[in-house]
């Protein structure tokens, strides 16, 4: 994987969620265009928004120049993510000058963070809607059509959009995201999410299972259960382990993934449930953030270095072949060279297959911004990040090389980007596999057994056996 992609993949994932239902577009009288930034949960929210707009007679378009309504679903997690949105608005400003009737809406975490300030700072914006207020979009649009600028950033303790069936945007028809919790109660000091997404709440299990079953009946073969901290899922009598089992039982042919696991909350019960069901993917995204207990404490992650390493050990005891990935932050407040070395060594000891790596970006209003000085100079943050990326590149290379000669079950997601004579798919451990189609009558959504012959740092190459 190119370094840049590894480094900042969440910010690289931008503007991908165009609604693609081109055939439907003619049936609708009005057209909307939506672009999404940030995490998978935000992309899934755009699918909920698309569903709400569908009911209001809005069809999606990939061309914002013809849209009545242009929406940006935004992210605030790092300053760069917000800057990207500001730059993007400049493009829309030019279009709006030519077509003053076009409405521009800002959704998501940046909307929640800036509230009505957004309207003052960006004159072209007509509508500002926070993550818990999407049901009010139709009313806000009507008001905006009447010339009124509108804002709804109320956070909710109950909203889970459980009854709204997401319209799958730009879907490959094989894999889909299903949100199981919203918000976060954790208060990691660096993080803006608890402020933009509000208190954690879990969606009822029956609606989650029904959505997964419906996806399977429509031909999907993999669901990823989403939450900022999936392991703290709890609704009535159902905990996360039980929910995983309920979804795994929809069909042995439906793969189940989940993200993100907080190291403090993932339990043995979850690990044993994963081990018990072959269709629960053997892959855990277990963000460490730092390898120094002192820094982890300042981050309010509530675990120590030793505790984290024990968790990794436990995962490998219960599932020796489980893939593990991480998020790592360089240059958090007060981080010393020794702390940084602790981060490098915990990465090495955990043998991550992959990591998302960032340098610390102070976010206004967070606990860290209020309590600590952002005192690691930019060039040091950058140099440490580079060392983190270089180490991860080596770990990834080792991990992928180690798969040569093994045979994996691969779920085919589509043609390889480089050649339509090759399939593209993933192993249970979330590694990308590319292999020639040859004469086999396979299609997207099928499982293939592939023997790995070659490996790069982010792709396995093999042949069907
Ligand atoms: N809930 C997940 C967790 O606990 O790991 C993910 C939350 S956040 C959306 C994704 C990642 O962004 C975090 O794991 C962290 O590494 C990174 N992140 C969050 N705030 C950051 C900040 N202020 N500066 C740099 N990276 C940040
Ligand atoms: Fe942010 Fe921490 Fe919550 Fe993750 S667990 S969303 S890093 S506060
Ligand atoms: Fe960004 Fe909000 Fe997700 S801040 S990472 S879009 S929860």
Instruction: Please tell me if the CB atom of residue 194 comes closer than 6 angstroms to any atom of ligand 3.
Output: no
The bound ligand whose nearest atom lies closest to the alpha carbon of 228 is 1
Looking at residue 27, its pLDDT comes to 67
What SS3 state is found at 298? helix
Instruction: Please tell me if the CB atom of residue 188 comes closer than 6 angstroms to any atom of ligand 2.
Output: yes
Give domain 407-464's CATH number out of 2.30.30.40, 2.40.50.140, 3.30.420.40, 3.40.720.10. Answer: 2.40.50.140
The bound ligand whose nearest atom lies closest to the alpha carbon of 363 is 1
User: pLDDT band at residue 21, thresholds of 50, 70 and 90?
Assistant: very low
Distance 93 CA to ligand 3 centre (A): 24
- Per the CB < 8 A criterion, the answer to whether 330 and 381 are in contact is yes
- For ligand 3, atom 1, name the residue with the nearest CA: 75
Distance 332 CA to ligand 2 centre (A): 15
Token pair 């929406």 is found at 71
The residue extents of the domains of the chain are 14-152, 175-401, 407-464
The bound ligand whose nearest atom lies closest to the alpha carbon of 132 is 3
| Per-residue pLDDT tens over the stretch 153-171 | 999 999 999 999 999 888 8
Distance 453 CA to ligand 2 centre (A): 39
Q: Say how far apart CA 52 and CA 107 lie, in whole Å.
A: 14
Q: Say how far apart CA 382 and CA 385 lie, in whole Å.
A: 5
Is the CATH code 3.90.660.10 the one for domain 175-401?
A: no
The mean pLDDT of 329-358, rounded to a whole number, is 98
Around ligand 1, the residues with Cβ closer than 6 Å are 39, 77-78, 190-191, 193, 228-229, 260, 262, 287, 289, 327, 329, 358, 360-361, 363
| Per-residue pLDDT tens over the stretch 81-103 | 999 999 999 999 999 999 989 99
Looking at residue 457, its pLDDT comes to 85
- Per the CB < 8 A criterion, the answer to whether 14 and 84 are in contact is yes
Q: Which of 167, 173, 130, 131 is nearest to 152 (CA)?
A: 130
The mean pLDDT of 376-402, rounded to a whole number, is 98
- For ligand 1, atom 19, name the residue with the nearest CA: 191
Looking at residue 26, its pLDDT comes to 53
| Per-residue pLDDT tens over the stretch 100-150 | 899 999 999 999 999 999 999 999 999 999 999 999 999 999 999 999 999
Distance 289 CA to ligand 1 centre (A): 8
The mean pLDDT of 393-411, rounded to a whole number, is 97
Residue 259, token pair as written in the block: 């993200």
Q: Say how far apart CA 326 and CA 337 lie, in whole Å.
A: 21
- Per the CB < 8 A criterion, the answer to whether 49 and 107 are in contact is yes
Look at the chain and count its residues: 465
Phi-psi region of 143 (alpha: psi -120 to 50; beta: other; left: phi over 0): alpha
Instruction: Please tell me if the CB atom of residue 76 comes closer than 6 angstroms to any atom of ligand 3.
Output: yes
Instruction: Please tell me if the CB atom of residue 130 comes closer than 6 angstroms to any atom of ligand 3.
Output: no
Instruction: Please tell me if the CB atom of residue 75 comes closer than 6 angstroms to any atom of ligand 3.
Output: yes
| Index of the ligand 2 atom closest to the CA of residue 260 | 4
Q: Say how far apart CA 156 and CA 199 lie, in whole Å.
A: 8
Distance 183 CA to ligand 2 centre (A): 9
Looking at residue 18, its pLDDT comes to 46
Give domain 14-152's CATH number out of 2.40.10.10, 3.10.20.30, 3.40.50.300, 3.40.50.12160. Answer: 3.40.50.12160
Residues 6+ apart with CB under 8 A from 439: none
| Index of the ligand 3 atom closest to the CA of residue 109 | 2
Instruction: Please tell me if the CB atom of residue 229 comes closer than 6 angstroms to any atom of ligand 3.
Output: no
């Amino acid at each position: 994987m190119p370094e840049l992609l590894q480094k900042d993949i969440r910010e690289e994932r931008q503007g991908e969620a165009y609604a693609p239902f081109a055939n439907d577009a003619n049936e609708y009288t009005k057209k909307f265009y939506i672009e999404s930034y940030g995490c998978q949960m935000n992309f899934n929210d755009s699918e909920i928004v698309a569903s709400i707009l569908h009911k209001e007679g809005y069809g999606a378009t990939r061309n914002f120049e013809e849209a009545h309504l242009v929406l940006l679903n935004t992210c605030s997690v790092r300053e760069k993510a917000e800057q990207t949105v500001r730059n993007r608005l400049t493009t829309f400003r030019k279009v709006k000058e030519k077509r003053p009737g076009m409405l521009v809406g800002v959704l998501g975490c940046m909307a929640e963070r800036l509230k009505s300030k957004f309207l003052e700072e960006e004159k072209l914006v007509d509508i500002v809607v926070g993550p818990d207020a999407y049901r009010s979009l139709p009313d806000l649009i009507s008001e905006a059509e009447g010339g009124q600028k509108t804002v709804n950033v109320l956070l909710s303790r109950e909203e889970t959009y459980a009854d709204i069936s997401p319209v799958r945007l730009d879907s490959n028809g094989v894999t889909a995201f299903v949100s199981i919790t919203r918000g976060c109660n954790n208060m990691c000091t660096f993080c803006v999410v608890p402020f933009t997404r509000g208190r954690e709440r879990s969606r009822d299990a029956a609606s989650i299972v029904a959505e997964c079953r419906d996806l399977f009946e429509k031909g999907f073969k993999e669901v990823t259960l989403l939450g900022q901290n999936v392991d703290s899922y709890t609704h009535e009598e159902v905990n996360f382990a039980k929910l995983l089992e309920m979804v795994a039982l929809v069909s042995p042919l439906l793969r189940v993934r989940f993200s993100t696991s907080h190291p403090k909350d993932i339990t043995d019960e979850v690990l044993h449930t994963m081990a018990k069901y072959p269709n629960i993917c053997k892959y855990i995204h277990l963000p460490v953030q730092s390898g120094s207990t002192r820094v982890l404490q300042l981050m309010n992650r509530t675990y120590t270095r030793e505790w984290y390493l024990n968790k990794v050990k436990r995962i490998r005891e219960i599932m020796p072949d489980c893939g593990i990935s991480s998020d790592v932050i360089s240059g958090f407040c007060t981080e010393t060279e020794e702390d940084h070395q602790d981060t490098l060594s915990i990465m090495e000891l955990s043998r991550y297959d992959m990591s998302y790596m960032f340098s610390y970006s102070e976010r206004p209003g967070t606990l860290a911004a209020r309590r600590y000085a952002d005192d690691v100079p930019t060039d040091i943050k950058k140099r440490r990040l580079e060392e983190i990326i270089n180490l991860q590149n080596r770990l990834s290379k080792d991990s992928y090389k180690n798969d040569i000669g093994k045979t994996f079950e691969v779920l085919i997601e589509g043609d390889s980007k480089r050649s339509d004579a090759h399939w593209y798919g993933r192993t249970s451990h979330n590694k990308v596999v590319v292999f020639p189609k040859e004469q086999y009558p396979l299609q997207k959504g099928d499982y293939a057994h592939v023997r790995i012959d070659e490996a790069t740092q982010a792709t396995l190459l093999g042949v069907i056996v």
